[in-house]
Amino acid sequence: MKHPRFLLIAAFLISSEISAQDTLPFPTTPSASIAMETMEESTHQHRKEVNHLPSDAPNIIIVLIDDAGPALPDTYGGEVHTPTFTKLAGRGISYNRFHSTAMCSPTRASLLTGRNHTRVGNGQITEWANDWDGFSGVIPKTSATVAEILRNYGYSTSAFGKWHNTNPAHTSKAGPFHEWPTGYGFEYFYGFLGGETSQYEPTLVRNNGYVEHPPKTVEEGYHLTDDLADDAIKWIENHQALQPNKPFFMYWAPGAVHGPHHVANKWAQKYKGKFDDGWDAYRSRVFERQKEFGWIPENTILTERPETMAAWDDIPEDEKDFQIRLMEVFAGFAEHADYNVGRIVEAVEEMGIGDNTLIFYIWGDNGSSAEGQNGTISELLAQNQIPTEISDHIRVMNEDLGGLDALGGPKTDNMYHAGWA
């Protein structure tokens, strides 16, 4: 397997006493024993495995938030509270230039391999996989992932959450499993295969098998992002207990904040009234604040809203409460995701390994998603080309679901209006 020049391992290999190898895995360490004609004449001695890593090789955690735009976190001028993001930004380096591909699978494939998305079979989302070169939905084995590289160097590796880099035709219980995370260098995986899943009733996979039931029910307060953080913390704890001298690599990519936008009402309520003046006002407000922060150049000019996009003033008054609530739910969902990142960071710090852990917190594999189109209580309606009016959604909310507070709960698969995106 040819070794690509990958940023993550270069961070410590370049400055260490060892250098990156041309071919991986490393050859097997030869026996230290001497075999003679008889056991009595032979010398038995345990071989000493070669350590290919410096003694201070850091743990590495990549956090990848899904479908989150740059004007959301208050860390950089937005209005969604992201204290973990702010904490890490204050301790490290922030980058305002991320070359994404504007779609989930391509960006993730590029991130994991360090290669152009069409070079690794992910020119588009895997649901649209076909037989054209670069669009198969399968990362070829000729391109190593960072997990494969680090595992061969001696890291423990794990992945949690969304895995959107396997051809859907190959995600059945029969595999083929070499196209699942465990086939790409991750020794442990807990999450889901595909672009999205419910936060309350997810279709979960652990390693190479489907999980029959989540650890808790919706009535007991189950939420997928919480579950992914719980499992990640447990994995780190087990690793530190059993192999404390071995560094680990974790790829934590929750379904948040991809649709459907699911979060407990207490999180959405934190944003009650925050977005009452609509998406045009929010966009202008945050744009000016980002210039003040120095996040975008002072001479930047805000682009015009596309002509096909509704202005906030064009939204009928009797529909605005619905549109506002969709954004409040989304904001709560985003803060909840950051909160769970914080739980992982705190766990690492409490274990005393925070100072030697390199964290990449990526706010969005691509920008905020416009899949909600005009706002919806069921995102799959539009994806299945079922036409509806906003009045239909509001009527169902009021007559059948108990009002706007049901948004974000298990009875809806809501997504906000593309204007918010």
What is the model's pLDDT at position 12?
Answer: 41
Query: Which residue ranges make up each domain of the chain?
Result: 59-275+331-373
CA distance linking residue 249 with residue 157, whole number of Å: 5
| Contact between 182 and 240 (Cβ < 8 Å) | no
What is the model's pLDDT at position 2?
Answer: 36
Find, among 222, 408, 416, the residue nearest to 333 by Cα. 408
Geometric angle at alpha carbon 348, from 342 and 351, rounded to 5°: 140
CA distance linking residue 320 with residue 169, whole number of Å: 41
What is the model's pLDDT at position 157?
Answer: 98
Q: What b/e sequence results for 225-242 when a residue is b if at least 16 CB atoms lie within 10 Å of its CB, and e otherwise?
A: bbbbbbbbbebbeebbee
What is the model's pLDDT at position 19?
Answer: 53
Question: Could you tell me the two tokens for 381?
Answer: 């309606």
Mean pLDDT, 10 residues at a time, over the chain (421 residues)? 37 44 83 93 90 94 96 97 97 88 94 96 94 94 95 97 96 94 98 97 97 95 98 98 96 97 98 98 97 94 93 97 98 98 98 97 93 94 89 96 96 96 94
Sign of the C-alpha dihedral computed for residues 398, 401, 402 and 408 taken in this order:
negative
pLDDT tens string 40-85: 999 999 988 888 899 999 999 999 999 999 999 999 999 999 999 9
CA distance linking residue 68 with residue 216, whole number of Å: 27
A 10 A CB-CB count for 410 gives: 15
In CATH terms, 59-275+331-373 corresponds, of 3.40.50.1860, 3.40.190.10, 3.10.20.600, 3.40.720.10, to 3.40.720.10
